[in-house]
Structure 1
Amino acid sequence: MEWQKAQLTSTISERSGPVADLTFSPDGRLLACGSCDSSVKLWDIETGQRLRSVFGYPLGVNAVAISPEGKTLAVGAPDGSVDLWGIETGQHLLTLRGKGRITSLAFTPQGKTLICGSDPSFSDTLFASPSAQSSNSIHQKAGNINIWHLASASLLHTLGESEDTVNALSISACGKIIATGHRDNTVKVWDIKAPAQPRYIFNDHTDAVYGIAISPDSQIIASGSGDKTIKLWHLKTGTYSSLIGHADAIYDVIFSPDGNFLASSSGDGTIVIWQLKTGQKISTLSGYTQHLNSVNTIAFSPNGKKLASGCGDGTIKIWNLS
């Protein structure tokens, strides 16, 4: 891919508040957006048209995820609930009840399990979504990382200390490990089959970890921090390398689907593309096309040809990388 020639193809904007999370559908046709307004929106990438909105989140949404088969949308709310919606029908399917603001969501590769990260220092029940009070809600007292079995709507595991804050999480493509980034500057790696204690704890960041990603081959974990650095943790050797190229906190990191590149977004309004083999910065998406505020979230399309970025100014930009 000729990353240096990345082009801005469209800008989606409704000025509805900062964009907090983005995720593509498995076929790359839809983009789900969670933001600081009262709804989650589904956009058609080719036309730029809004296909559907899910309302009922007056305090905003920090986390969204689409199931691997592309039929279910998961929405994390500030009251600790996670709503599951049918993408084609718009029907509410189920509510899972935890505690604290939901900060991150990830389906396992088979789609049978949902992993939820939360911030237990913030919990709101006054503005709980109406579905959270319905008869098909599952209520549990839960910790900061919850692993839910969806078919039975049962809580399989709770990871970590109850007061730890999870800012971000990622599940490996093999479905065997979970990586989490925390407010206390740490990165933790969990074995999903034996999750009693983290397999690794990395504490070399000097500020909160806001972005986390696992490489497609499950060998490298990337973490982005308020200390303006990205660290690449090599699981086989237990060593790390640092990438430095942003002028502000790094809010998201994501590997390209082929595993050869890493994208990072920052409070400085830029997106940087890194070549993993050399550790070199090969492109900065900025200039006249740059966001006017912090870039909070980024997402690669499944084929790696597009990159979506969400900004604090309420805009979403779609970049053509092919």
Structure 2
Amino acid sequence: MGEVRLQKKLRQIENLEIKISLTPEERFKISRKEELRSRLAELQLQLSGPQQTPGILGDGKKEKMKRQVGDPSEAPPSQMSPASKIHRGENETKAQNTPGSPARQRQARADAAEMDRAQDGAKPGKVSQRSRDVSGSCPQQQLQQEEAEFTSLKASWEKARFRLRLLDGHNDIITSVVAVDNLVVSGSRDTTVKVWHVPTATEQKNLGGHTGGVTCLSAPPPEYCKRLAGSLSLSDKERFILSGSADCSVKIWALSTGQCVKSVYTFNAVTALCFVPEGDGYIITGSDGGKVQAWSWHSFQNCQSVNAHQEAVTSIQSQGPLVFSGSAEGGVSVWENRCSDRDPLKLLHHWSGQVTDLGGGADGRLTLSPRGDRVFLAYGRAWLKILHWRTGMMSKLTNHSSITGVTDCVHQTGGLLIGSSYDLASAESALNLFSLPQCRYLASLTWPNAPRILCFAAWTTGSGDHRWVTGGRDLIVWEQLPSSGKQRGDVTVKRDALMDSGFLESESDTEDDEETDDYEDDDEREDSRRDSDKDGGSGSWLRCLLQ
């Protein structure tokens, strides 16, 4: 079995392992995971050594350079031309590949920084002051200043220390986490929503009521909670949490009492949701069949239902009046919320899996995080994708130095971009930190026996320190420790030199992006066909990950 087949086999087994019910054949496949990891490690060790042929002395360094994927000296940054763009009333658009020299890459970073500052709503006075500074100094001085700021930030993260605390209570995989004040709320496939008090790391409430696995959570802003609390004769300080489930419902919970104050039946298994704080407020849900629906926060009535995607909607996020939805087949849709009682969502762009180059079929799991004109995409690969959603241009950001790495979630907090990383071959897990808006690699955070991270939430304390919570097999709170203290941290901070050169990689790297079944055994192909016939070929992402 070759290296590529072993990698894909391990990827298949990792996704299979998190199903609730397993057949004897599936249990046997999972039992072979360690054997396959050992074989992959041996094969990689063989390939990393000098290659020789009879009568010819092999140059180990040259051979290794030939096998290296994404060599920065041979694969300069570039952007691929988008494939067909699905846009109402418009023709397909095309763009040419543009090679990126180091100077152009630096200029692109500077342009991205300026664009993000404008889109993040910087105060006019600050913008004009920066314009005067730029006009009064040469570009070289600006580059030196930005490099000095980045060097300082990188050094501070290399010294960062975190204390980890396990929140023990769920008996199945944690699928979603959100932070509300000093509380962490987690949803799990065990059908429960739990509320945790962070300072004491204790379970505060167990919200039971769903009959299917909880797939997603969202927390409305305080002003929208106040409106609902008034209509329910509750305290105006009441906070609410939304939970979506495979039982085809969205439930609204009052955190102070732990009671379900409203349940909305959606007619479809809910696989993603978000709250859009525009106008009177909207709940946007995604289903296992690819449907996107809008619900009024005022009346809890359905405002719109659109068959937006071919497969399950796996991620929905909002940015001002914009709503972004991503699906299992790798497609991304961008919507504008017009704040109307009927059909509030207007489709602005739809980029198919051919454009994003993330086509993985019904078993895919896309997680997205928007920022200005860019959307960061995680899709179980060794890199993050960056979609420039107005044009369809794509670029890559290296998130793992090995092609056996996978990225399950991506998140932004403050000036940080955080991507989870899991190595299929070694079972090592980490969080990779990048500076925003330039997307430059800062450091990686890991600890012994770290589990695979499937979801992430973040907030900052009054003193500016970071607090994070990660979910997956385990639910863990990260508390940043003061740099001046003597308490020892639980997290190891390291840097991977191979990721320093991976700002924007060429789209034409040598990794096989398509998840084909050519590595499966004959019996596995037959099992897959039987499962597809039995279930009608729809919703397999939900069955595999969340049932």
**TM-score over 0.5 (shorter chain):** yes
Matched residue, 2:347: 197
Aligned partners of 1:39, 1:226: CA distance in 2, in Å?
26
* Structure 1 residue 281, shift from structure 2 partner: 2.3
TM-superposed CA distance for 1:229, in Å, is 2.3
Kindly, what percent of the aligned residue pairs are identical? Answer: 20
Provide the residue aligned with 2:171 in structure 1. 16
Change in Cα spacing, 1:153 to 1:46, as seen in structure 2 (3 Å) is same
SS in structure 2 of the partner of residue 47 of structure 1: coil
Q: Match of 1:46, SS?
A: coil
Deviation per CA, 1:154-195, whole angstroms, max 9, x where unpaired?
Answer: 1122233375310111011x2x11111111112221122263
Partner of 1:168: 315
The structural deviation recorded for 1:254 is 1.0
Aligned mates of 2:161, 2:291 — CA distance in 1: 38
**Structure with bigger gyration radius:** 2
Matches within 5 A, 1:113-262: 113-120=282-289, 144-161=291-308, 163-172=310-319, 174=320, 176-193=321-338, 195-201=345-351, 203-206=355-358, 207=360, 208-215=364-371, 218-235=372-389, 238-246=392-400, 247-256=404-413, 258=414, 260-262=415-417
Aligned AA (1:86): A
Higher mean C-alpha deviation, range 38-47 or range 245-254: 245-254
Whole-angstrom CA distance in 2 between matches of 1:40 and 1:230: 30
2:469 aligned with 1:315: no
How far apart are 1:30 and its partner, in Å? 0.8
Q: 1:76 to 1:85 in 2, by over 3 A?
A: same
What is the Cα deviation at residue 296 of structure 1? 0.5
Structure 1 residue 319 displacement after superposition: 4.0
Contact 2:330 2:366 in 1 (8 A): no
Matches of 2:405 and 2:269, distance apart in 1: 25
Report SS of the residue matched to 2:417.
strand
Q: Kindly tell me: are residues 119 and 267 of structure 1, through their superposed partners in 2, closer, same or farther at Cα, counting changes over 3 Å?
A: farther
Q: Is the 8 A contact 1:80 1:100 kept in 2?
A: yes
Alignment of 1:32-43 (within 5 A): 32-43=185-196
More strand by share: 1
For residue 420 of structure 2, give the secondary structure of its aligned residue in structure 1.
Answer: strand
Q: 1:301 aligns with which of 439, 452, 459?
A: 459
Shift of 1:237: 5.5
RMSD (CA atoms): 2.5
Query: Does the alignment pair 1:52 with 2:205?
Result: yes
- State how many pairs are aligned: 289
Identify if the C-alpha distance between structure 1 residues 261 and 237 changes in structure 2 by more than 3 Å, giving closer, same or farther: farther
1:65 aligns with 2:223: no
Q: Measure, in 2, the Cα distance between the counterparts of 1:184 and 1:271.
A: 25
The 10-residue stretch of structure 1 (222-231 or 77-86) with the greater mean CA deviation from structure 2: 222-231
User: In 1, distance between residues paired with 2:212 and 2:161?
Assistant: 35
In structure 1, what residue type is equivalent to 2:385? K
Q: Which runs of 5+ in 1 are unaligned?
A: 121-142
Contact 2:214 2:243 in 1 (8 A): yes
| Residues 190, 226 of structure 1: alpha-carbon distance in 2 compared, 3 angstrom cutoff | same
Cα 1:298–1:182, aligned 2, differ >3 Å: closer, same or farther?
Answer: same
What 5-or-longer segments of structure 2 have no aligned partner?
1-152, 226-238, 339-343, 424-428, 483-547
Matched letter for residue 155 of structure 1: N
TM-score (norm 2): 0.49
Tell me what 1:140 maps to: none
Contact kept? 2:356, 2:387, Cα under 8 Å: no
Q: Secondary structure at the match of 1:13?
A: coil
SS of aligned partner of 2:366: strand
For 2:311 and 2:208, locate their aligned partners in 1 and report how far apart those are by CA, in whole Å: 29
Identify if the C-alpha distance between structure 1 residues 251 and 198 changes in structure 2 by more than 3 Å, giving closer, same or farther.
farther
- CA–CA distance in structure 2, aligned partners of residues 186 and 319 of structure 1: 35
Shift, 1:309, TM fit: 0.7
Q: After superposition, where does 1:264-279 map in structure 2 within 5 Å? A: 264-268=419-423, 269-279=429-439
Does the 8 Å contact 1:168/1:212 carry over to 2?
yes
Matches of 1:85 and 1:184, distance apart in 2:
32
Q: Is the 8 A contact 1:210 1:250 kept in 2?
A: no
Report the AA paired with residue 89 of structure 1. Answer: T
Equivalent residue letter for 2:283: L
Work out the CA distance in 2 between the residues paired with 1:171 and 1:156.
17
Structure 1 residue 59: deviation in Å? 3.2
Q: CA deviation at 1:58?
A: 4.4
The amino acid across from 2:430 in the alignment is: T
**Mapped partners of 2:333, 2:221: distance in 1:** 24
Does the Cα contact within 8 Å between 2:211 and 2:247 map onto a contact in 1? no
Q: Is the Cα–Cα contact under 8 Å of residues 249 and 267 in structure 2 kept in the other structure? A: yes
Contact 2:349–2:390 (8 Å) recurs in 1: no
**What is the match of residue 91 of structure 1?**
259
The alignment status of 1:77 with 2:223, answered yes or no, reads no
Alignment deviations for residues 216-257 of structure 1 (CA, whole Å, 9 cap, x no partner) = xx332111012332122234665333112234332211111x
* Equivalent residue for 2:444, pick from 268, 284, 287: 284
The amino acid across from 1:31 in the alignment is V
Q: Distance in 2 between matches of 1:200 and 1:162?
A: 9
Distance 1:274 1:47, change over 3 A: same
